[in-house]
Structure 1
Amino acid sequence: MRPSFLALLLATGVLYLYNLSASGYANSFYSAAVQAGSASWKAFFFGSLDAGNAITVDKPPAALWPMALSVRIFGLNSWAVLAPQVVMGVLTVAVVYAAVRRRFGPAAGLIAGAVLALTPVAALMFRFNNPDALLALLMSLTVYFVLRGIEDGRTKWLVWAGAAVGFAFLTKTLQAFLILPALALIYGFCAPVRLRRRLGQLLLATVAIVVSGGWWVAIVELWPASSRPYIGGSQHNSFLELTFGYNGLGRINGDETGSVGGGGGPGGGGGGGGQWGETGWDRMFNSEIGSQISWLLPAALILLVAGLVLTRKTARTDLTRASFLAWGGSLLMTAGVFSYMAGIFHQYYTVALSPYVAAVVGMGVTVLWEERSRAWASLTLAAAATATAAWGYVLLNRTPDYLPWLKWLVLVGGLAVALGLIFVSRVGRRLAVATVAAGFVTCLAGPTAYTLSTVNSAHTGSIVTAGPAGASRMGFGGRGGGPGRAGMPGGFGGGGMPGQNGQGGQGAPGGNGFPGGGVPGQNGRTGQGTPNGQSQQNGQNGNGFPGGGRTGEGGRTGGAGGMGGLLDGANVSSAAKKLLQANASRYTWVAASIGSQNAASYQLATADPVMAIGGFNGTDPSPTLAQFKTYVADGRIHYFIAGGGMGGGMGGNGTASQISTWIEKTFKKVTVGSATFYDLTQQTGDS
């Protein structure tokens, strides 16, 4: 291996490992499932939220498996959970480097690898325990295998590509298929074998997808429902329903049964809005998403067009053109779907774009540099540098208090570099090298600063963003948000800006305000629903959700069980932990709670199973009231934790509400500090 390549991987690993444990268990929803999988092979296989196998996470389990194996070996701790994600980040950089270097040389590979490693959302998600890290690795491998197939026409590469897509499906279901149309068309056109053979190879790749992704689905669907956990996120205990509904078409059209807020209608069209942010062609550049992924996106688009123009007259099987088509097609397909999907969308989803952007930049810069003696090539390089400098200035100007001098360095330096690139073919070698070096510094200065800010910060909960506070102004929370927008009816208020005691935005009539984005040492304040969504401040009880600060620090979770909402879990006191651990071995579940985040916090604190009634949102119809009564009668659940849940804790006639009402009327209340429990082994005298 080349020393420069090893240095790139080492630097990426050190960067991503730095301050890793600051995030604790990161997303407690997935960490609880990892803990369960480390204690029970059945929970490992199904992706259960608890070792008692009451309900699964709302995704297939492939992303949980590496982390669960790590915890089995090293024990439950932050590093054991998050280090496998760092390994995936380093491997993704290696794959992108290898794919680009193979045709375009070591310099192109190093550029692509560095761009990927320094993308803020990549630095976030390769240090976090959501499924997106493994998905990005598998999607990069897929493109690599397809390009190897185009290079020599051997069938094995298409089969490997199909296997990678199949496992990507077991990571995040249908998102794995976004790049398939582009890659299939590219291989069908470019591969150096006869058409009949190309079609046969694509058929074999399809079989590989079905086998590698379908074996687990077949087992789950054929397994008797009575002896496996309920499929979280579905309304009828079906993984296929979850795949094509909540995690499938629901993400496109916004009709997501079981989602908080009920799955408001589409917000598509030319910039429509919804409770998951603005949609439209510019979504990847707006104030909600831009700072996560778009730093080099304008340059990538310019370089993609230039690469295709440069190779327009080459042979059908030309690998250079095929590479631009494969990486660029994957970029455009994924970005297009992300831009217009009206359902649940989080900023960190854009990590899927980072390998594609990085590869296109590495390839484009290299091929245009080789052609720099041609005026149009040097002008295109200058245009890419100008676009990067101007857009970097815009992104940095969105956080005016963060390194205010940097935006001017990026703008002025980038424009100076662009001017130098116009004449780079006419100057000496030293000046040309100096121009290139200055170009890399100015183009990567912005994303590097945001990446360093990301690795230097703790990230917990289910909605996280990269960069400094206020870098991403999503209208429904996140680690950092600007002044809150109005929430949709039944939806969320805006996120307060951490560090400024920002108050969440107002929910529309009937809406519940979502929390301010408090982080350690910073008191985010809750949103305020009007007129029916009144809340208290600093996470106290009330109909509004609590502040999203990290447990035990500046932001505070709510009382009465500490329902932490979507941002984070509960603050579990030592007294509450002691209560649940007493005689824990006698019970299948030491406790039950509405919603996964509350349950996950107690499970991670005690390392004992805690049932999440209603799954992630508290809206899944599992268990039913009759099933829960049977569990209690059989002595399988010790306590019920009051509070918690996104769907069941706010009234209504859902399963979670029915269970909660029955418990409150029937069993003895136990208060430990600010948390309230019900002892399900002791009925009240008047029940």
Structure 2
Amino acid sequence: MTTTALEAAPSRRIELAPVRAKKRAALTRRVSLLMLLGGTALLYIWDLGASGWANQFYAAAVQAGSQSWEAMFFGSSDAANAITVDKTPAALWVMDLSARIFGFNSWSLLVPQALEGVAAVAMLYAAVRRVGGHGAGLLAGAVLALTPAATLMFRFDNPDALLVLLLTVAAYCVVRAIEKDSSAWWLPLAGVAIGFGFLAKMMQAFLVLPAFAAVFLLAAQVPLRTRIVRSVIAVVVTVVSAGWYLAIVALWPESARPYIGGSQDNSVLELALGYNGFGRLTGNEVGGLGNMNFDVGWARLFGSEMGGQIAWLLPAALILGIAGLGVTRRAPRTDAVRASLLLWLGWLVVTGVVFSFANGIMHPYYTVALAPAVGGAVGVGASLLWQRRNDIRATAVLTGTMLVTTMAAVVLLVRTEDWNPWLRPAIVVVGVVAAGMLFCAGRLPKAIATAAVALAVLAGLSGPGAYSLATAATPHTGAIPSAGPSSGAGPGGGMPTGGLLGGVTPGANVTAALRANADDYTWAAATVGSSNAAGYQLETGNPVMAVGGFNGTDPAPTLAQFQDYVAEGRIHYFIDSEIMRGFGSEKTGSDAASDIAAWVAANYTATTIDGVTLYDLTVH
């Protein structure tokens, strides 16, 4: 080697060192992201089949959609298309396609939900990473993945899984839309996602619109005129994406489609705007279960019903988000960090206030819609303050947030005091140590400061993580599941099988009777309530008419229509079942179901099989 070459070698090594460091850093980022997504997939998919059909109400609709394209399009409860579920069917379409490809079973039903959860975590990571960096994205994704309500819903066949994914996609699109030199397509794409979110769970999808619109109009790096024009286009796209299906159903002849479940006038607009729209706010839901405002108020999200589902990091999200806004208060209008904080906080506050004060049906698992916003605010806010850890004010906020989060975990864990009692003191010890280290973070060596971050994340996520693991380890069924440690019926244990809310599991003799000559009839049986009908339909594989829809309060069919079906020989059996009514003395909706049950009992002979009362409608 020449002297020149020897002299050049050290120089080349010095030049290559930063390249190798960048490659190692990139590899570390890829590996950590894969660990996050792989861990999320494991949490959501492990032993997924243990829940069976989970929510039989929706499972029966997927079964129907796997047998009939018409049932799939309308979201019918049965393949003979008597009545639809009480939601627009976008969430069912994903599961329907899975069932058609892989066959109808528990795994083909639930795996799409789990994959939607993994995709939501990935999209939240991507949205937060663009503003706060890789670490912030990982933290945000982990918060979403380990939120108990998320673990529950991404292992369950309710519409909430697709709704959360689509809203997170929309948030990512808004983040991209406000960037410099961004494509004009990003904001309309957000509108498409929100529109299809409406088709998954109707007006709940629109709760993010105020925050998304305000953030774009404030921070987008284009002139005001362009911001307004793009916003108008995005609104039009949202309306079209949400409204095309409503228009088709509204214009479709009523005689050629199933009855729209959840409505009193066979109207998809009434369903979307009434029963599943403003009725959820006012409690005036005709055909519903009556007023549900047992715990309405600002403390509802922290109460006994909803607290364990979502409240673990709610205080942290608010503290870190508001502190982050304080840090960025003098930033330019187009500051991406402040815009991101406004997006996540706006989503969190608007949706949280609506959930807290809604007087209509409000189940605890609805809180999953808050999880991406909590994760986003925590990820961006914590990253912003950590970058300023040399400022005592930043470390004071981080320390206070750690202590408040530790206190929240203790309060929530006390509610299940007999479950892993060691966890409370462990979180307290780790949380207090982490808080002390965070307060001194600006003066600590890099390795110890990194350890402080790790301890803080461990303390903050241990509570919701433990609840999520307990949720994943517990089979959940029924219409009102709840996350957390199993305790039978109620929080953590889902609902017991049987009745309107939990469906039924028919015995072998009843199943055999319903299957006998089932091909000779349009419906093997009819019974009051969709969940009751679902249990028999799932077991037999044959259409079972859900008289009165989910609550048994829809006028579908009327007594005259039912009598015509019987006269035409289209229904084999009528199965006696309990008719659900509103709470207390409230009574809403149609009496058609009770009129039908009374007419059958007066005109046909009852037979008891496996403890179930059946009426053979082909024999007087």
Task: Report TM bin, short chain.
Answer: over 0.9
Q: Does the Cα contact within 8 Å between 2:124 and 2:137 map onto a contact in 1?
A: yes
Q: Distance in 2 between matches of 1:134 and 1:160?
A: 16
Paired residues of 1:143 and 1:161 also in contact (CA < 8 A): yes
How many pairs does the alignment contain? 587
Q: Is the Cα–Cα contact under 8 Å of residues 598 and 645 in structure 1 kept in the other structure?
A: no
Q: Secondary structure at the match of 2:359?
A: coil
Q: Which residue in the other structure is 1:84 paired with?
A: 112
1:621-662 Cα deviation digits (max 9, x unpaired):
1100111111111111111011143149x9998101111111
Q: Which protein shows a greater Rg?
A: 2
- List alignment gaps of at least 5 residues for structure 1: 265-274, 471-477, 482-497, 499-516, 520-547, 551-556, 558-563
CA distance in 2, matches of 1:280, 1:64: 33
Q: Identity, % of aligned pairs?
A: 53
Cα distance in 1, alignment partners of residues 394 and 490 from structure 2: 40
Q: Which of 233, 244, 250 lines up with 1:204 in the alignment? A: 233
The answer to whether the 8 Å contact 1:169/1:175 transfers is yes
Which position in structure 2 is the counterpart of 1:283?
300
Give the deviation of 1:381 after TM superposition. 0.6
Q: Does 1:565 find its partner at 2:593?
A: no
Q: Contact 2:478 / 2:496 at 8 angstroms: preserved in 1?
A: no
Give the stretch that moved more between structures: 161-170 or 657-666: 657-666
Q: 2:168 aligns with which of 132, 140, 161?
A: 140
CA distance in 2, matches of 1:2, 1:570: 46
Q: Which stretches of structure 1, 4 residues or more, deviate above 4 A after TM superposition?
A: 650-653
AA in 2 matched with 1:118 = L
Alignment-derived partner of residue 308 in structure 1: 325
Matches within 5 A, 1:427-446: 427-446=444-463
1:669 aligns with: 606
CA contact (8 A) 2:579 2:594 kept: no
Matching residue of 2:423: 406
Q: For the Cα contact (< 8 Å) 2:471–2:486, is it kept in 1?
A: no
Superposition TM-score, scaled by structure 1 size: 0.84
What does residue 193 of structure 2 align with?
164
After TM superposition, list the pairs within 5 Å mapping 1:240-389 onto structure 2: 240-260=269-289, 263-264=290-291, 275-389=292-406
Q: Tell me which residue corresponds to 1:553.
A: none
Q: Partners of 2:191 and 2:131 in 1: how far apart?
A: 22
Q: Give the SS at the match of 2:605.
A: strand
Unaligned runs of 5+ in 2: 1-28
Q: Distance in 2 between matches of 1:118 and 1:384?
A: 19
Aligned to 1:154: 183
One-letter amino acid of the structure 2 residue matched with residue 423 of structure 1: C
Deviations 1:475-504 (A, max 9, x none): xxx9435xxxxxxxxxxxxxxxx9xxxxxx
Mapped pair 1:621 → 2:568: no
Q: Give the partner amino acid of 1:336.
A: V
* 2:546 match: secondary structure: strand
1:680 is matched with which residue?
617
Q: Distance in 1 between matches of 2:235 and 2:445?
A: 52
The separation in 2 between residues aligned to 1:51 and 1:658, in whole angstroms, is: 25
Cα distance in 2 for residues equivalent to 1:166 and 1:58? 18
Output the amino acid matched with 2:366: Y
Q: Are the aligned partners of 2:470 and 2:486 in contact in 1 as well (CA < 8 Å)?
A: no
Tell me the SS of whatever aligns to 1:682.
coil
What is the rounded CA distance, in whole Å, between the counterparts of 2:155 and 2:324 in structure 1? 33
Q: For 2:554 and 2:310, locate their aligned partners in 1 and report how far apart those are by CA, in whole Å.
A: 33
Give me the whole-angstrom Cα distance separating, in 2, the residues matched to 1:138 and 1:610: 32
How far is the alpha carbon of 1:313 from its aligned partner? 0.7
Separation in 2, partners of 1:441, 1:161: 34
Aligned residues of 1:371 and 1:377 also touching (Cα < 8 A): yes
Q: Point out the structure with the larger helix share.
A: 2
1:426 paired with 2:454, answer no
1:565 partner amino acid: L
Shift of 1:276: 4.4
Give the aligned partner of residue 23 of structure 2: none
Give the conservation status (yes or no) of the 8 Å contact 1:61–1:171.
yes
TM-score for both structures, normalised by structure 2: 0.92
> Is contact 1:18-1:455 (8 Å) kept?
yes
Q: CA offset at residue 182 of structure 1? A: 1.6
1:480 maps to which residue? 490
* Cα distance in 2, alignment partners of residues 428 and 172 from structure 1: 49
Q: Which has the higher contact order (CA 8 A, sep 6+)?
A: 2
Mapped to 2, the partners of 1:411 and 1:344 lie a distance apart of: 36
Aligned pair in 2 of structure 1 residues 647, 680: CA closer, same or farther (>3 Å)? Answer: farther
In structure 2, what residue type is equivalent to 1:145?
C
Quick check: 1:3 aligned with 2:31?
yes
Alpha-carbon separation, structure 1, partners of 2:286 and 2:123: 37
Alpha-carbon RMSD across the aligned residues, in angstroms, is 1.6
Shift, 1:281, TM fit: 1.2
User: 2-side partners of 1:65 and 1:46: how far apart?
Assistant: 10
Task: Name the structure 1 match of 2:264.
Answer: 235
Distance in 2 (alpha carbons) for counterparts of 1:228 and 1:276? 35
Return the alpha-carbon distance in structure 2 between the equivalents of residues 646 and 591 of structure 1: 19
Question: What are the superposed Cα offsets for residues 553-578 of structure 1, whole Å, 9 maximum, x if unpaired?
Answer: xxxx4xxxxxx231x11121111111
Q: 8 Å contact 1:593–1:644 — kept in the other structure?
A: no
Q: How far apart are residue 277 of structure 1 and its match?
A: 3.0
Q: 2:126 aligns with which of 98, 108, 111?
A: 98
Q: Which residue of 2 is the match for residue 605 of structure 1?
A: 539
Amino acid at match of 1:92: A
Residue of structure 2 in register with 1:646 after alignment:
580
Aligned 8 A contact 2:152 2:483 in 1: yes
The C-alpha deviation readout for 1:349-379, integer Å capped at 9, x for no partner, is 0000001101111111111111000110111
Tell me how far apart the structure 2 counterparts of residues 589 and 201 of structure 1 sit (CA, whole Å). Answer: 50
Residue 469 of structure 2 is matched in structure 1 by: 452
CA distance in 1, matches of 2:353, 2:483: 22
Find the partner of 2:248 among 219, 226, 243. 219
Q: Matches of 1:400 and 1:673 in 2, distance apart?
A: 40
Contact residue 459 and residue 479 of structure 1 kept, 8 A: no
